[in-house]
Structure 1
Amino acid sequence: MSEAPQIALSIIVPCYKVEKYLPRCLDSLVSQTLENIEIICINDGSPDRCIDILRDYERDYPEKVIVIDKNNEGVWKGRWDGIKIARGEYIGFLDSDDYALPTFSESLYTAAKANSADIAVCGFDRVELETGKRLSREMTSERKPFSIDGDPGRLVELNGAPWNKCFRADALKSMYDLNNPPTVLDDLAFHLLAYQQMHGKVIFVPESLVRYMVRSDSIINTVRKEQVASIFSAFLEIKKIYESSRPELISALDAIAFLHLGVSLVFRLSCSAHAKVSQEVSRMTQYLDNNFPSWRKSPYINFSYASSRGGALVKIYIVQMLYKAHLLPAFLAIYRFMIYRLHVDIKW
């Protein structure tokens, strides 16, 4: 009897209250041009018809679709459940209200495999769910590959979502878990734990292969003050993991913390009608100074580094200068005006 072909890529799909969109997502995955994939679907205690839809696809595609039916524990735990049983050489993800183009799996896996990469990253479109209008196309510019050990500052370039990437499976299976994962920015925390296990190459596929669906009333997602404590706690836990196991990546971690906490998180806090932006900036600055202090003199946020690499690193350098000059509240006010009034969104 011949052995079954090795699974090239496992794709993990957490599912919760998405019965309206789930068939489109699953249709896009069972139609992938890469044959030897498995699709691990986690029904996270969804109260709608998700489990019935998943069972139908499991019956129709028994060699591809695997269903985990479990009580609701959230997307963080669901991803870990999927990773544990994944058999692929690489592991990818897709949100259950999004969908992938037919060559999504093949393009990512082929690029990762050909370059012995730890991570392969593709581009994506942000699409308005109700109208189908494309809001932006991102991560499609030509980018040189880099080594995590050789140039960790370039990790700042990567968007914080796992659904446009594939990761080396043995790295994900050996990741640390968090005692208290954050209630928001959980995708970023997941990435940071993955980077901690990786030493090799990051490769880019400059094609838009994922359609990330955005509800028109949630283009701006605010963060409640009570959620910030869980973010702070989780990032301190991650910092301790890096200090004990990958101290050479601390400067990169501090730069990532500045971008995603000092800029992105403060921006989301500023979108609340009751936000006191100057106070939020002051609180975040104190947190960064106490716990991620190299952000002020980071080797990865300076003119020389940014000018030699371009793109997102130039934007981060500029906003760091604004931050140090105490001009971030004014910058965020302009940024909100551009998004709300002019419908122009600058991605960092």
Structure 2
Amino acid sequence: MSNPRISLIVPIYQVQGYLRECLDSILEQSYADFEIIGVNDCSPDACGDILDEYASRDERVKAVHLRENVGLGRARNAGMEQATGDYLFFLDSDDTLTPGSLQQIADRLDATDDPDVLIFDYARTFWWGKAQRNILASVFQKSGPEVFTAKQRPEFLKLIMVVWNKVYRRGFVDRHGFQFPPGYYEDTPWTFPVLMSAERIAALDSVVVHYRQRRQGNILRTVSRKHFDIFDQYERVFTFIEANPELAEWKPWLFGHMIDHFIAILAKDNRVPDSARAEFFEQASRHYRQYMPADYVRPQGLQGLKHNLIARGAYPVFQTLKVANKGRKRLRTTVRKAKNKVEKRQLQQFYETQLKRPVDENLAVYSSYWGRGYVCNPVAVYAKAKEIAPQIHGVVVALEDEVHTLPPGTDYIVPGTRRYWEVMARAKYFFNNVNFEDMLIKREGTVHVQTQHGTPVKHMGIDMLNYPAAAKGMSFGKLLQRSDRWDYCLSSNRHSTEIWERAYPCSFKGLESGYPRNDRFYTSTAEDVRRIREELGIEPGKIAVLYAPTHRDYNKVFVPQLDFAKLCEDLGDDYVLLLRGHHFYSGSSELEKLKSAPNLIDVTGHTSSEDLQLAADVLITDYSSIMFDYANLDRPILVYADDWEIYAASRGVYFDLMEDRPGHVARSQQQLLNLFTSGAWQDELSAGWRETFRRRFCQFDDGRASERVVRHVMLGEPVNTPAVIPLDERTPAPTPQQAYSRTAGRTTVPKPASGEPTGTPVKVN
């Protein structure tokens, strides 16, 4: 087999939310003569598993796993050692290729007779959906020889000095022995020597790479002394020029570019630590004196003044110049903010007073769905904290009309009250399954945990940018400002971990603890199941069908997807239908009209979704995240998807539920009824789908998620303490049949509706 034309070397580190998109953008190219060398730089997240998954299903992907983290440059070197292609293409693992771009590269290489380097263009892609082509793209349109040297077309040296906007002929790289050094700014001592040495360079006037502009996670935008690496990198470039006298003419240009680079780093507040800025300036001054060519001419204007200050080592004057420029900008911002603050002053005064008091290290706030009281993941953590961290006092957020639903003895705060803002100002720990209001200030030392409230089928966070019907005028900037407060974000499966990282590009730490609310699916007893059914009015022996549809963004009110009266009638008296409308519709007139249907119980306003799932023999849902929770019980799930295409188009979805299904799919009410009358709702085929679904989406739910969260977040114990129980070793709560059979003998399973033959019988232990 001949070597591939192009080797794409993809160094990988902490990009689990973006890696699939990167690899897919390569593998879906129309041009196929390539290989991917994915280099897992000892990434602490799921990147290694994702890489292995792709390598296992496509022979063009080779997975390289480094034993220790070596950094971007040396990870690329490790990839080069494995590459066999004619050309090397270094692609960052959070960036993507545009469709058809590899074919354009291959065609251009052929048309220019295999140059040493081919340069192409890129576009910056922003989290809010904007794509902006390189502002210097005009260099590709300038006239000049199609194959050239850097001296013949120096305008290409004005482009951003990165490695990923070019492909390199392997023979050329090997002949010169080019390698990436360790440290930050590793592209510098590669790009300059490569371009200055290349005898044959070509250009492609096309956007090949979408360069992702991440809100968080760019190491070059991190305050660190690692920015001092820039000095070593330029030393390497000048050393290379000294070893190649024919390149000496580049010294003046390179020197000026180096000093401009130092100035650019000093201009940013998120680069060099304040305590080290004078030291950085001094080092820049030493480089100025050491490498300044005799024939160097300083630039004119303000930039020339900055060059002069660095040459003189005049840091105080340089800093004064910087502060003066920033001062004018800050004055305008301060005036604008002061005006807004005055307008809100009366509301915030009490809160601001409380913020001056010390943080209470033993105070925690738990809030769900904007104050809906004692529900979901936050209160599951609250209950476990009372048990194993009793020194931490928990307070639940509850609206006035939810207070009566709280268990006796629960301390609570009502939003908008003085005590609410007192507690919010002083608490150490904050747990929420949505977001707290914009007014909340995250104090230093406090810990915010985003528990989430389900596994995502539909698009979330900034992934909703292209779905205005779903976004409903949402300010994505404010959404991310609220999300910037998160220290942790919980997930119950690897799918969610990847989605949360991409949909909320903030600096939180993913915590693969499982969802605390799902603990009950492994800790509840037969007695619990019987009690819940009795409280709901479900007679022993009845098959309880829980119907829980999701909200549809294109409907303003609850619009029934089913004819409930007819369904109840067709199912017969052996069945009872539990209708769980989305909480947006609780108390709506549309739901009230349905209560007259026979054998139907409206449980939309029931406090606990977990209770309803424990009581149900089978779940009917559409695209609601309840399916992922219910799958923990290993009971039948039916998907009623009469409008799947409309829903997917209007909201956007992360996977095809019609393929990756938890059970049988019905596209009409008659099909749904047939699943019951035939007994297929509980057949072996349904069980097989459910098994695959559970392994993918119930990874970390094992009954101990709450404990893992409390021990890590509040008690400082290691992540995954206790360890997650493997799926095959977990025992879900008893089914209703099992619950009754354990106390009153074996309960007869009701016959399917219309007396049709059953599918595979359910064995009751």
Q: Does TM, normalized by the shorter one, top 0.5?
A: yes
Report SS of the residue matched to 1:24: helix
CA distance in 1, matches of 2:136, 2:164: 13
- Equivalent position of 1:80 in the other structure: 77
Aligned CA distance change for structure 1 residues 230 and 219 (closer, same or farther; 3 Å)? closer
- Equivalent position of 1:110 in the other structure: 107
Q: Is residue 123–residue 209 contact of structure 1 (8 Å, CA) maintained in 2?
A: yes
CA distance in 2, matches of 1:78, 1:183: 11
CA distance in 1, matches of 2:176, 2:165: 19
CA distance in 2, matches of 1:81, 1:154: 32
* Structure 1 residue 286 displacement after superposition: 4.1
Letter in 2 for 1:231: I
CA distance in 2, matches of 1:241, 1:254: 15
* Superposition pairs of residues 1-348 of structure 1, within 5 angstroms: 4-62=1-59, 64-71=60-67, 72-116=69-113, 117-129=115-127, 131-141=128-138, 142-143=141-142, 144=144, 145=146, 147-148=148-149, 150-151=151-152, 153-154=154-155, 156-176=157-177, 181=181, 183-195=183-195, 198-216=197-215, 221-222=220-221, 226-244=225-243, 246-259=244-257, 261-272=258-269, 274=274, 283-293=283-293, 296-297=296-297, 321=304, 323=306
Letter in 2 for 1:269: L
Q: Is residue 150–residue 195 contact of structure 2 (8 Å, CA) maintained in 1?
A: no
Aligned CA distance change for structure 1 residues 16 and 217 (closer, same or farther; 3 Å)? closer
* Structure 1 residue 278 displacement after superposition: 8.9
RMSD over aligned CA atoms reads: 3.6
Aligned CA distance change for structure 1 residues 333 and 70 (closer, same or farther; 3 Å)? farther
In the alignment, structure 2 segments of 5+ residues that lack a partner are 310-316, 334-765
| 1:131-151, Cα deviation, whole Å (9 max, x unpaired) | 222355345321444633753
Report SS of the residue matched to 1:290: helix
Q: Is residue 188–residue 234 contact of structure 2 (8 Å, CA) maintained in 1?
A: no
Report SS of the residue matched to 2:43: coil
Aligned CA distance change for structure 1 residues 291 and 158 (closer, same or farther; 3 Å)? same
* Structure 1 residue 33 displacement after superposition: 2.1
In the alignment, structure 1 segments of 5+ residues that lack a partner are 302-315, 342-348
CA distance in 2, matches of 1:186, 1:263: 17
Q: Is residue 258–residue 295 contact of structure 1 (8 Å, CA) maintained in 2?
A: no
Aligned pairs, number: 314
Aligned CA distance change for structure 1 residues 276 and 11 (closer, same or farther; 3 Å)? closer
Q: Is residue 147–residue 202 contact of structure 1 (8 Å, CA) maintained in 2?
A: yes
CA distance in 1, matches of 2:301, 2:105: 32
* Structure 1 residue 5 displacement after superposition: 4.3
CA distance in 2, matches of 1:150, 1:84: 31
* Structure 1 residue 295 displacement after superposition: 7.3
Structure 1 window deviating more from structure 2 (201-210 vs 74-83): it is 201-210
* Structure 1 residue 68 displacement after superposition: 0.8
Q: Is residue 124–residue 211 contact of structure 1 (8 Å, CA) maintained in 2?
A: yes
Structure 1 window deviating more from structure 2 (149-158 vs 187-196): it is 149-158
CA distance in 2, matches of 1:37, 1:217: 31
Given the two structures, how large is their TM-score scaled by the length of structure 2? 0.37
CA distance in 2, matches of 1:337, 1:78: 43
Q: Is residue 117–residue 167 contact of structure 2 (8 Å, CA) maintained in 1?
A: yes
Structure 1 window deviating more from structure 2 (161-170 vs 321-330): it is 321-330
* Structure 1 residue 112 displacement after superposition: 2.8
Aligned CA distance change for structure 1 residues 238 and 11 (closer, same or farther; 3 Å)? same
- Equivalent position of 1:313 in the other structure: none
| 1:101-143, Cα deviation, whole Å (9 max, x unpaired) | 12222222322332132111111111123x2223553453214
Q: Is residue 156–residue 255 contact of structure 1 (8 Å, CA) maintained in 2?
A: no
From the CA coordinates, give the structure whose radius of gyration is larger: 2
**Residue identity (%):** 22
Report SS of the residue matched to 1:97: coil
Q: Is residue 89–residue 168 contact of structure 2 (8 Å, CA) maintained in 1?
A: yes
CA distance in 2, matches of 1:257, 1:220: 25
* Structure 1 residue 282 displacement after superposition: 6.7
Report SS of the residue matched to 1:123: strand
CA distance in 2, matches of 1:234, 1:195: 16
Q: Is residue 29–residue 99 contact of structure 2 (8 Å, CA) maintained in 1?
A: yes
Aligned CA distance change for structure 1 residues 122 and 149 (closer, same or farther; 3 Å)? closer
* Structure 1 residue 294 displacement after superposition: 5.5
Q: Is residue 123–residue 139 contact of structure 1 (8 Å, CA) maintained in 2?
A: no
Structure 1 window deviating more from structure 2 (73-82 vs 317-326): it is 317-326
* Structure 1 residue 80 displacement after superposition: 0.9
CA distance in 2, matches of 1:30, 1:217: 27
* Structure 1 residue 161 displacement after superposition: 1.3
Report SS of the residue matched to 1:162: coil
